[in-house]
Chains A and B, each alone.
Chain A
Amino acid sequence: MRNYLNVIILIVVAVLVGVALYFIVPPGEKTFLGLDLQGGLEVVYEARTNAGEVPTAEQLEQTLSIIDRRVNGLGVSESTVQQQGADQISIQLPGVTDAQQALAIVGKTAQLEFFKNDPAARPVGPVASREAAIAEAAKGDVPEADIEQFREGFDNTDDWALVVEPAETVTDAEGDEQVIPEAWYVYRRPPELTGAAIASARQSYDQFNRPNVLIDFTSEGGTEFQRVTKELWRDGLRSGQSATFAIVLDNVVESAPRIDHTDPTLRDGISGGAEISGSFTLAEAKDLALVLNTGALPVQLEPIQQAEVSATLGKDSLRAGLIAGIVGLALVLVYMVAFYRFLGVVADLALIVYAILFWGLLNAIPVTLTLPGIAGMILTIGVAADANVVIFERIKEEVRQGKTVRSAINAGYSRGFRTILDANILTILTAAVLFYFATAQPKGFAFTLMLGVATSMLTAVLFTRALLGVMSRIRFFARPAFLGVTGEIAAPATLGSAAGARARGRRPAAAAARDDGRDPAAVSTAALEGAAASGDDPAGRPQAKPAAATSGGTSSTGARRTAARKRKRRK
């Protein structure tokens, strides 16, 4: 009956190999390559609130979703945005070539604020430096606590914002270039409007055909904007000088439009949209529109780790990894055949099946293949072979003790399996811990390791057992020599014939004697004494030799005692 089961297992494995091949062929196209193999950009950000504190879970979640939308806006396929620890966000952008641009978009807080430029809203500025602005603010009505925050390097507190207007080169009427130096201000929060008032933003061109960004407000935002501009128009009328307001993005003045109080059409404020016209390049304007559309991050992001991999480097790494994998597999294949002969061929078949199934599985899930993942894969080749070593050694041992090939195979698997299970569970356990704790890179390694060890149990144990089970029914294969066991069998091994099959369960003479004597090594050696150590097989020979060679030392005690008992029996 067992044989039907074996045949079924073989058929199932064949089908699985077929399915796996479907996921593999054509190779290279169906494997998802990680950033390190494909090239791209990886950044880890640390998130902090305005006050420099660890953000709440909610803030971080919001940040993740905004970044996700921005990354999608970049048009990068297979990008990943992940939370890491309590306050870190790791972003992987495969295939990105312009790292600076990507970073500018992804990590930008994009806190957009509209401030009035009047003494109440802007008590400080313009002054020439950050320090000067802080000193000036300390004299005014900015509280000491906020000043302290500024001094520590933060630009934002809940009630105040330290803002810079970057230096700019302008061409005056005579065509001379003039540099307007940067200017610093302190603004009072809350601003008149924030990015929340924006319904959508898009890149466009102003009247001089320079790139700008057009903003459409939400209905609420539009009303507010109209109120503010109306107030500014009136302020201008009252003072006789047109009032301005500042559009501030992440503490940088992007533009400071003037509301012309001499223009009566503005008397009720400006309805509709607004325009941000700084000195943008086309790309900058597009990027700004993208970040405004996705909204402001509730936190500040500081890049703490950043790595760029060029596509060429990725390709080189992939090739090196593949070569190492193929060479490693080949070495193990050769070693197994050299050491275990026919059993080695079976193990090799299992290893090849393993490689195909594992690769197919990785593609089907799909697992993104990274460099450490390749290392994990290659290591599992060794682990898969280990399982067969354990089982085959056991089988050889059983055959040497006089079991038939068939029953030796059964015993080898049932006894070896426990060892393999224990050892593999420990490897999987450690990999799982690694997966749970580790940061992105070792995670890939741990995952492939777990997956591979689990798959290898299927091929190295189940598949080889079924294969050997079917083969041992064939007379030709059912010879001890085929198992790499030569010339030192305790009792004549019965061929895997019908008689041998029936003998299963019944114990051959030597095995029975062994249990009696409670000392298998001594008994089998006693049976072997004088037998020519013929084989050229380095594994088989020494196993048989020990007791024969031990004339002194502790081990002889056992042998001597067994001999004594034998004499007693003979009486």
Chain B
Amino acid sequence: MGFLRGIYTFDYMGHKKWWFALSGTVLAIGLISLFVRGGGNPVQGLQYGLEFKTGTRITVAFEQPAELAEVRTAVAEAGYPNAQIQQVSQVAGTDLAGFLIAVEELQPEAQAALREQLDGAYGIAVADGSELWSQQTVGPTFGRLVVEKSLEAAAVALLLIMAYIWLRFSSWKFAVGAIAAEVHDVLIVIGVYSLTGREVTTATIAAVLTIIGYSLYDTVIIYDRIRENTPKLSRMPYGDMVNRSLWQSITRSINTTLTTLLPVLALLFFGGTTLTDFAFALLVGIIAGGYSSIFVAAPIVTVFKEREPQYRRLAARAAEEG
């Protein structure tokens, strides 16, 4: 339990440089991953989901048993040698096994031709009077729209958050600390997605935007305590005062993070495909958010504040006495 007690006595602000170095390293790893996986273009360093790509995804079940390799050959013969084909144990809504075929965007005639060819070879299964053939086509504009809108949303959200914190804590120093923590959290989520090669979907983007809002919870808790302690402990060097504020608020920082992580974990393990996507991004973001409120936001405020003349004097006096 030494560690547990330690968190209430640790000199967090005395080790600022270590935290900055740690965050910097993690962010750098993420960035390198983006560049390496993107072949020099960081935007390409993520696995984008179907909604960001131009293409057609077909789900089909056949009457005749078909082997993956055979279907691949058939699709290639139809003129799509680059198609991605996957066997699925159960086509949604049926008990039949089938295939997932992802090809570049198909024109209606090409779709019909492919359908006819596969029907001729294996016979497309029929259930409830309709053929088990469904397809999803996405044009390039939709993905672009989603990304554009999300970037707009993120920018507006960050500006609003900045303004609100500036207003509530009457200092731009707090606002800068909070925004830095935010950007840190979002970049970590992006980095983790790049490293793990997880698919980025619209759900992921919504989750990231939510993290922007929620990860401030802990930051606000700590800021509040700092604000409360500032007049009370006005003779203490700023870093010590922040340390004390952290000791006093760390239990609730940990508990608020855990109480939110519990439902997110439930979502991750029981939620099914789409919700799992959401939950994973939230999981990474919430952990990063809990970390960054203590190790990014508070130290940045301290760095700025310690430069103010009154705190410089206090620090000097403390060094003398120390």
Contact = CB atoms under 8 A, between A and B. Distances in A.
Interface of A: 36, 39, 44, 46, 85, 88, 97-99, 302-313, 316-317, 320-321, 323-325, 327-329, 331-332, 335-336, 339, 371-372, 374-375, 378-379, 381-383, 385-386, 389-390, 393, 397, 415, 418-419, 422-423, 425-431, 433-434, 436-439, 441-442, 445-446, 449, 518-521, 538-539, 541-543, 545-546, 549-550, 553-555, 557-558, 561
B210 A449 contact: yes
Nearest to A370: B274
Contact of B270 (A99, A309, A323, A558): A323
Nearest to B237: A554
Contacts of A304: 138-139, 141-142
A433 B244 contact: no
Nearest to A427: B213
Q: What 10 pairs across the A-B complex have the smallest Cβ distances?
A: A430-B213, A328-B263, A310-B93, A382-B260, A320-B272, A442-B206, A328-B266, A304-B139, A437-B153, A385-B259
Nearest to B239: A554
5 contacts: A332-B262, A382-B259, A430-B209, A438-B153, A521-B248
B233 A518 contact: yes
Contact of A393 (B142, B160, B255, B261): B255
By DSSP majority rule, is chain A's interface helix, strand, loop, or mixed?
helix
- Most chain A beta-carbon contacts within 10 A, residue among B51, B221, B262, B321: B262
A327 B266 contact: yes
B251 to A, nearest CB: 5
A419 B224 CA distance: 6
A442 B262 contact: no
Contact of A88 (B145, B234, B256, B262): B145
A543 B251 contact: yes
B265 A331 contact: yes
A383 B278 contact: no
B279 A375 contact: yes
By DSSP majority rule, is chain B's interface helix, strand, loop, or mixed?
helix
- Most chain A beta-carbon contacts within 10 A, residue among B8, B128, B318: B8
Given A335-B262, A426-B164, A429-B161, A434 B210 contact: yes
A442 B259 contact: no
Contacts of B209: 430, 433-434, 438, 442
Given A379-B264, A433-B157, 13 more contacts: A39-B93, A44-B142, A46-B139, A312-B93, A379-B282, A426-B164, A430-B212, A433-B160, A438-B153, A441-B206, A519-B236, A543-B251, A558-B240
B236 A558 contact: yes
Contact of A434 (B138, B157, B236, B259): B157
A397 B46 CA distance: 46
A370 B168 CA distance: 35
A39 B232 CA distance: 59
Interface string B73-92: 00000000000000000001
Nearest to A444: B206
Interface in B276-301: 278-279, 282
B71 interface: no
A371 B94 CA distance: 21
Given A382-B261, A393-B255, A427-B214, A307 B11 contact: no
Contacts of B255: 339, 389, 393, 539
A211 to B, nearest CB: 18
B9 interface: yes
Contacts of A99: 134
B202 interface: yes
Given A311-B93, A434-B210, A386 B14 contact: no
Contacts of A431: 210, 213
B210 A549 contact: no
A316 B272 CA distance: 8
Nearest to A100: B130
B252 A393 contact: yes
A557 B247 contact: no
B263 A317 contact: no
- Most chain B beta-carbon contacts within 10 A, residue among A46, A97, A327: A327
Nearest to B131: A100
Given A382-B264, A555-B244, A332 B7 contact: no
Nearest to A541: B5
B112 to A, nearest CB: 11
Give the bracket for the number of chain B residues in contact with chain A. Answer: 35 or more
Contacts of A428: 213
Interface string B195-208: 00000001101110
Contacts of B217: 383, 386, 423, 426-427
B34 interface: no
A419 B220 contact: yes
Contact of A305 (B92, B138, B249, B282): B138
Contacts of A520: 232
A44 B7 CA distance: 52
B267 interface: yes
Contact of A378 (B168, B235, B267): B267
Contacts of B149: 437-439
B243 interface: yes
B259 A320 contact: no
A442 B134 contact: no
B85 to A, nearest CB: 19
Contacts of A331: 262-263, 265-266
Contact of B256 (A46, A389, A429, A539): A389
A99 B136 CA distance: 11
A438 B210 CA distance: 12
Interface in B68-117: 92-94
Contacts of A381: 263
Contact of B266 (A378, A415, A418, A419): A378
A305 B161 contact: no
Nearest to B211: A430
Contact of B153 (A98, A434, A553): A434
Contacts of A46: 139, 141
A542 B7 contact: yes
Interface in B113-150: 128, 130, 134-139, 141-142, 145-146, 149-150
A550 B240 CA distance: 13
Interface string B287-322: 000000000000000000000000000000010011
A426 B213 CA distance: 6
Given A372-B206, A386-B256, A549-B9, A554 B14 contact: yes
B92 A375 contact: no
B271 interface: yes
A303 B92 CA distance: 23
B278 A317 contact: no
B258 interface: yes
A425 B115 CA distance: 53
Contacts of B31: none
Nearest to A311: B93
